[in-house]
Chain A
Amino acid sequence: QIHLQQSGPGLVKPSQTLSLTCAISGDSVSGNSVAWHWIRQSPSRGLEWLGRTYYRSKWYNEYGVSVRSRIIINADSSKDWFSLQLNSVTPEDTAVYYCAREMGSKVALWGQGTLVTVSS
């Protein structure tokens, strides 16, 4: 059974970097038919796709328009996890952040969610 376990701080100060990790059990982050996503949800913006990473002989990253200049998604094949880094956060980045797994074009498996509040 495949499971995604998120970890990371729930409070980040403005202008600092938000960092979250998603640990994968039961699957490989470098699998040739899967992709790994970060998505967030806030009352003001609803669900917002942040980006994804996937391995097809090499690593590919794709990012959402609103965060493209501030986001990095990395993966670690040796430990089967992937991470989200969002730089220069503001209170507008306050949201519940989710990691998720895509296979066969279905984003059907999600992490438990992490509420991240941006506040001094």
Chain B
Amino acid sequence: EIVMTQSPDSVAVSLGERATINCKSSQSVLHSSNSKNFLAWFQHKPGQPPKLLIYWASTRESGVPDRFSGSGSGTDFTLTISSLQAEDVAVYYCQQYYSTPYTFGQGTKLEIK
């Protein structure tokens, strides 16, 4: 199975500042057939189901604020929140859907400094 590793495990950022979360896969999730990276980012808040933020590594899901962006290719990916808002406090997960079993990173807890 593909192992997903996120860094850091937790991060504290001031309101209005940039937050960056990294995700590394143990093998490439770039599919040669369509040149797409099979990588998604989810936001998870307590008491709620996870919310899809980004898919294909960089495509924002409908309704997701544009302060959220995804980048990267192959094995290294980044989720960036350009200007942190209070409502962004959550745990963030990357997930590969290149091959089953689909696998998640261990999660990154984002807090306000």
Contacts and interface: CB of A to CB of B under 8 A. Distances in A.
Contact of B101 (A41, A63, A100): A63
Interface string A88-111: 000000000010101001111011
Given A105-B38, A106-B40, A48 B50 contact: no
Interface of A is mostly: strand
- Interface centre among A98, A108, A113, by most chain B C-beta atoms within 10 angstroms, is A108
A111 B61 contact: no
A110 B49 contact: yes
Nearest to A45: B106
B49 A49 contact: no
Contacts of B104: 46-49
A106 B100 contact: no
Interface string A24-53: 000000000000010101000011110110
- Interface centre among B52, B56, B61, by most chain A C-beta atoms within 10 angstroms, is B52
- Interface centre among A41, A51, A102, A112, by most chain B C-beta atoms within 10 angstroms, is A41
B55 interface: yes
A62 B91 CA distance: 26
B1 A46 contact: no
Interface of A: 37, 39, 41, 46-49, 51-52, 62-65, 98, 100, 102, 105-108, 110-113
Cβ-closest 7 pairs across A and B? A110-B49, A46-B107, A62-B100, A47-B104, A49-B102, A108-B52, A64-B101
15 contacts: A46-B91, A46-B107, A47-B42, A47-B95, A48-B104, A49-B103, A63-B101, A64-B101, A65-B1, A65-B101, A98-B49, A100-B49, A105-B38, A106-B55, A107-B95
